[in-house]
Structure 1
Amino acid sequence: MEVILLQRIGHLGQMGDVVSVRDGYARNYLLPQKMALRANKENLAQFEAQRVQLEANNLEQKKEAEAIGEKLAGQSFIAIRQAGDTGQLYGSVSPRDISDVITEGGFTIARRQVVLERPIKELGLHDVTISLHPEVSVQVMINVARTQDEAERQAQGEDVTVIKDEAIELETFDPDAEEHGGSYDAEESSEEARE
């Protein structure tokens, strides 16, 4: 289906371009969202009559998005999730979760504005792109942690997902230690183990 774009769409083109898209994409997304019109003589004439107004609206929306982007860029938000000892999440952090966390932080973001290349499925710090306008995108940091304390430690650069293998030292009982009624001495047992 041929459509006239009413705004810039990253992978399709600029405002006013006549592009060919799949019928389902046009009927289910572009037309209901008022991002495009069917390309016919009447709609081309209507678009040309409204072009100046549409460009002015687009410019105004872009300025608003840039103002919000300046405040939002570089912000860090914490998402608390359950995870295993290795840092693997029980589930994932979705665009809806990210938009909810950012909205709780004082910015109004719709889930369709969150651009994720792949789902977030592990603890840690993750860069996420927020598309405020087709021409304005900013990066935010999503700190995925099990607790608030863990999130603070991650923000300082500590890796909370590493399971430290502690060497198990063999301990021997020292019956000559009178103070405690006998004691375990790990140093002697490790020296004996080396010999």
Structure 2
Amino acid sequence: MKIILREDVEKLGKAGEVVKVKDGFGRNYLIPRKLAVLANVRNMKALDHDRRTIETRAKKTLKTAEATAATLSAVSLILPAKVGEEGKLFGAITSRDIVEALGKAGVTVDRKAIQLADPIKQVGDYKVKIRVATDVLPEISVSVVPEA
């Protein structure tokens, strides 16, 4: 099935692109969530008309994402945690803990935007990437220290 994307969909395409997807994915996921419309003649003509709107919205989104990225790159978090022998943590520091610390620092970020491969289980300094937009990935520094 050919569809026209109305929003950017990760690993599929950007808004305004015509892509081919499996019928079930398009019919059951993309179209009901208004992420895409069917690529018929009427919608293709409407796409030509809406392209300018999509480009304007993408530019505005990119500007806000870059501003957020600049704010995030200046943030440095210090997370105290209970520590056992050899600097190992009791438990782990997860993306949820990082989101809470960022919230206390005055920056709101979605938990799913944090690119943390594995939970942090050792004391130390770490660089954590945060996906603000499709191509914008600022890094924040996270220091895990023993709790006093």
What TM bracket, shorter-length normalisation? 0.7 to 0.9
1:5 CA drift (Å): 2.8
How large is the Cα RMSD of the aligned pairs?
2.8
* Distance change >3 Å, CA 31–CA 102, structure 1 → 2: farther
Opposite residue 90 of structure 1, the aligned amino acid is F
Q: Counterpart in 2 of 1:78? A: 78
What runs of 5+ residues in structure 1 fail to find an aligned partner? 150-195
Could you list the per-position Cα deviations for residues 92-120 of structure 1 after superposition, in whole angstroms to 9, with x for gaps in the alignment?
22222211111211111111221112222
Q: Counterpart in 1 of 2:4? A: 4
Distance 1:26 1:117 in 2: 32
Opposite residue 69 of structure 2, the aligned amino acid is G
Distance 1:108 1:98 in 2: 11
1:56 CA drift (Å): 0.9
Count of aligned positions: 146
What runs of 5+ residues in structure 2 fail to find an aligned partner? none
Distance 2:57 2:4 in 1: 17
1:77 CA drift (Å): 0.6
Q: What is the TM-score with the length of structure 2 in the denominator? A: 0.77
Among all aligned residue pairs of Structure 1 and Structure 2, give the percentage whose two residues are the same amino acid. Answer: 27
Higher relative contact order (CA 8 A, sep 6+): 2
- Higher Rg of the two aligned structures: 1
Opposite residue 5 of structure 1, the aligned amino acid is L
